[in-house]
Amino acid sequence: MKDTALVRMTINEIAKQKNVSLDMAFDLFYNSKICEMLSDRETGLFTYAPQDLAKMAITNAIF
61 φ, ψ (degrees, to nearest 5): -70, 150
**Residue 24: what pLDDT?**
96
**Residue 20: what pLDDT?**
97
pLDDT band at 62 (very low <50, low <70, confident <90, very high): low
- Domain containing 45 equals 4-60
**Residue 38: what pLDDT?**
87
Split into its structural domains, the chain has a count of 1
Question: pLDDT tens digits for 9-52?
Answer: 999 999 999 999 999 999 999 988 888 888 888 998 889 999 99
* Residues in CB range of 35: below 8 A, 6 or more apart: 2, 7, 29, 57
**Residue 61: what pLDDT?**
64
